[in-house]
């Protein structure tokens, strides 16, 4: 008889109520993780828990938190004090469409706080324990947007570039510690992202239907990359090619192409 009880693995997922966050939570539950699921939408979060438990047996803690607000990373960390986090998935995010000088600053500041401050702070808080224990995995969700400037979504593209650069840098720092950092950079994915970007306007659905991925497939790709400790994961050959666009044309041309795509996607 084995008297040594196996320590239960725990994963923390932000933006877990829908889209990639929900699909990643499903994969973690499938593999036996206890879950801490965080989202701003309490109703969808409850539904996500029900859907996961209908398929897998998992201990699930829900946190209704707005990750765009100040000091929320500390609140989350205090709420899970005593839990060993083996996997951290920083997935929560949103975008804002419009010219930089015309869009609402309060909303822009919330997006930057979510993508940059909360993501960085939560990573720092969880990472220390991982390094002490000598193992752990972090999956940061960036975007194909990280590889070039994005007119009409300037701060979104810039903040996603931050996530990519930050992830690559700390992945290098963590070499030989037993802790890995993976940055998933998907292209267009069929989630509720467009609704959030455009506030549910008539332009909330992409007009360019080419190369739109299924969130389940993207999540599976990112999850496998995380398991293997891959640093940058770009799902799809077309997206891999597009990520290299600035290498083949001038940044000015690449920026103009991105602007045209943004305008075309949101034509009413």
Per-residue pLDDT of 126-161, as tens digits, reads 999 999 999 999 999 999 999 999 999 999 999 999
Q: Are 98 and 152 in contact (CB under 8 A)?
A: yes
| Residue with more model confidence, 33 or 265 | 33
The residue segments making up the domain with residue 149 are 10-265
- Mean pLDDT across 40-55: 98
Residue 257 domain-assigned (yes or no): yes
Length of the chain: 268
Q: What average pLDDT does the structure give for the chain?
A: 90
- Mean pLDDT across 207-221: 78
Residues 6+ apart with CB under 8 A from 89: 11, 12, 13, 14, 16, 21, 24, 25, 28, 138, 139, 141
Q: Are 20 and 222 in contact (CB under 8 A)?
A: yes
CA 13 to chain centre: 9
Please name which of 82, 112, 89, 105 lies closest in space to residue 39, comparing C-alpha atoms. Answer: 89
Please name which of 157, 154, 94, 93 lies closest in space to residue 122, comparing C-alpha atoms. Answer: 93
pLDDT exceeds cutoff 50 at 111: yes
Please, which pLDDT band fits residue 4 given cuts at 50, 70 and 90? very low
Q: Which two tokens stand for residue 101?
A: 């000088």
Q: Are 94 and 197 in contact (CB under 8 A)?
A: yes
Report how many domains make up the chain: 1
Per-residue pLDDT of 51-107, as tens digits, reads 999 999 999 999 999 999 999 999 999 999 889 999 999 999 999 999 999 999 999
Residue 3 domain-assigned (yes or no): no
Does the model's pTM come out above 0.85? yes
Model pLDDT, residue 106: 97
- Mean pLDDT across 18-46: 98
59-66 contact pairs (CB < 8 A, 24+): 59/8, 59/34, 59/35, 60/29, 60/34, 60/35, 60/36, 61/34, 61/35, 61/36, 61/37, 62/37, 62/38, 63/36, 63/37, 63/38, 63/39, 64/39, 64/40, 65/38, 65/39, 65/40, 66/40
């993501």: which residue's tokens?
119
Residue 38 domain-assigned (yes or no): yes
pLDDT exceeds cutoff 50 at 192: yes
Known catalytic residues are 156, 160
Model pLDDT, residue 195: 52
CATH number at residue 84: 3.40.50.720
> For the chain, how long is the longest CA-to-CA vector?
68
Per-residue DSSP letter, 84: P
Residue 4 domain-assigned (yes or no): no
Sort residue 199 into left (φ over 0), alpha (ψ -120 to 50) or beta.
Answer: left
Model pLDDT, residue 56: 97
Q: Are 19 and 215 in contact (CB under 8 A)?
A: yes
Residue 143 domain-assigned (yes or no): yes
Q: Distance (Å, rounded) from C-alpha 22 to C-alpha 166?
A: 24
Model pLDDT, residue 206: 57
Model pLDDT, residue 196: 53
């Amino acid at each position: 008889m084995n008297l040594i009880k196996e320590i239960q693995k725990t994963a923390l997922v932000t933006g877990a109520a829908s889209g990639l966050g929900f699909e990643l939570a499903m994969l973690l539950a499938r593999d036996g993780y206890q879950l801490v699921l965080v989202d701003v939408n309490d109703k969808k979060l409850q539904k996500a828990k029900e859907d996961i438990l209908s398929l897998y047996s998992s201990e699930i803690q829900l946190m209704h938190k707005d990750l765009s607000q100040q000091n929320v990373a500390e609140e989350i960390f205090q709420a899970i004090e005593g839990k060993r986090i083996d996997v951290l998935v920083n997935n929560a995010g949103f975008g804002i469409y419009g010219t930089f000088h015309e869009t609402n600053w309060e909303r822009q500041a919330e997006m930057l706080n979510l993508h940059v401050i909360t993501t960085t702070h939560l990573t720092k808080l969880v990472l220390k324990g991982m390094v002490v224990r000598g193992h752990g995995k972090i999956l940061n969700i960036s975007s194909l947007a990280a590889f070039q400037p994005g007119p009409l979504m300037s701060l979104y593209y810039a903040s996603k570039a931050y996530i990519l650069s930050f992830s690559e840098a700390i992945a290098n720092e963590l070499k030989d510690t037993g802790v890995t950092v993976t940055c998933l950079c998907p292209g267009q994915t069929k989630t509720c992202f467009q609704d959030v970007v455009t506030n549910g306007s008539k332009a909330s659905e992409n007009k360019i239907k080419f190369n739109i991925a299924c969130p389940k497939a993207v999540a599976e790709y990112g999850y496998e990359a995380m398991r293997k400790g891959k640093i940058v994961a770009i799902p799809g050959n077309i997206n891999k090619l597009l990520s290299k666009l600035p290498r083949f044309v001038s940044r000015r041309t690449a920026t103009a192409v991105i602007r045209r795509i943004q305008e075309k996607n949101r034509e009413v």
